[in-house]
Amino acid sequence: MLHETHMDGERGQEVEAAFSKRLKVFCSGNPTSPHTKEGVAIILNKDYVNVNNTEQTEIVPGRAMLIKMNWHNGRKLNICVVYAPNVNGTNGHENAEFWRTIHQYFEQNPNKRPDILAGDMNVVEAGMIDRLPAHDDPEEATEALDNLKILTGLHDGWRDTYPDQKAYTFHQIATGSQSRLDRIYATNSFMTSSREWNIGATGICNADHKMVTVHASNEEAPSVGKGRWAIPNHILKDKQFIQFSLKKGMEAEQALEEI
């Protein structure tokens, strides 16, 4: 999930075309200046998920987008990526209105409520621990976000895992201030099958944000052992492999018949 992408649908198609074998790109750009500000995107890796029939919905163009994707055993997963407006000092009105708009959308569309909501919130809920220097953000903004969390049943995964730890995802070079603006919220059911909540470098030079990551799995998915999970295509045409496979298959069939 990406934010501040400066990418519209046309540019998203160009990116996808360059990596079409592996990636599927869903994006939403600013309606008037898609290449200069805002923008959100969700990138799916075809090696790990089934991207067929994925549904995309723009909630706030360039700032909030939802996809409904295949998960496992017929189950769907709703993922929402956000890039919230800035909080300016004691003025959190624009940020609060953003959360109210999303709240209204999910109130009217309960079947689309997210299992995961992630991105740059541009507001923190606990300023004494999530900002340096420590200070609280405007109550109007934090209350609007909290109301959305209550409606959707979402929890701050990293904070729930590390309730007392201080870590920051955004460093403002001009002032030296830091804050944990980037977060992943998830439902209880998703939290129980998730692990390795981390904050780390993005690998992009001069990036002022760090990346929040989590390892998610489906509790109903079969266990996958070590080694390759798929046979390379060229091996399927190898004569020695084919002979080996036939031999082992016949041995297995005979063993079953003798049971």
- The residues annotated as belonging to the active site are 83, 120, 209
Q: Which tokens in the block code for residue 6?
A: 């400066």
- Distance CA(23)–CA(31), nearest Å, equals 25
Show binding-site residues for Mg(2+).
120, 122, 208-209
Strands 116-120 vs 76-83: parallel, antiparallel or unpaired: parallel
- Distance CA(183)–CA(168), nearest Å, equals 10
Show binding-site residues.
120, 122, 208-209
- Distance CA(80)–CA(28), nearest Å, equals 12
Is there a contact between 173 and 206 (Cβ–Cβ < 8 Å)?
Answer: no
Q: What share of the chain is helix, strand, coil (3-state, %, to 5)?
A: 30, 25, 40
- Distance CA(49)–CA(219), nearest Å, equals 15
Cβ-proximal residues to 6 (8 Å cutoff; 6+ apart), any chain: 29, 34, 35, 36, 37, 38, 39
User: In this structure, which amino acid lies at residue 201?
Assistant: A
Cβ-proximal residues to 198 (8 Å cutoff; 6+ apart), any chain: 158, 212, 213, 214
Give buried/exposed letters for 223-248 (b at 16+ CB in 10 A, else e). Answer: eeeeeeeeeeeeeeeeeeeeeeeeee
Is there a contact between 80 and 34 (Cβ–Cβ < 8 Å)?
Answer: no
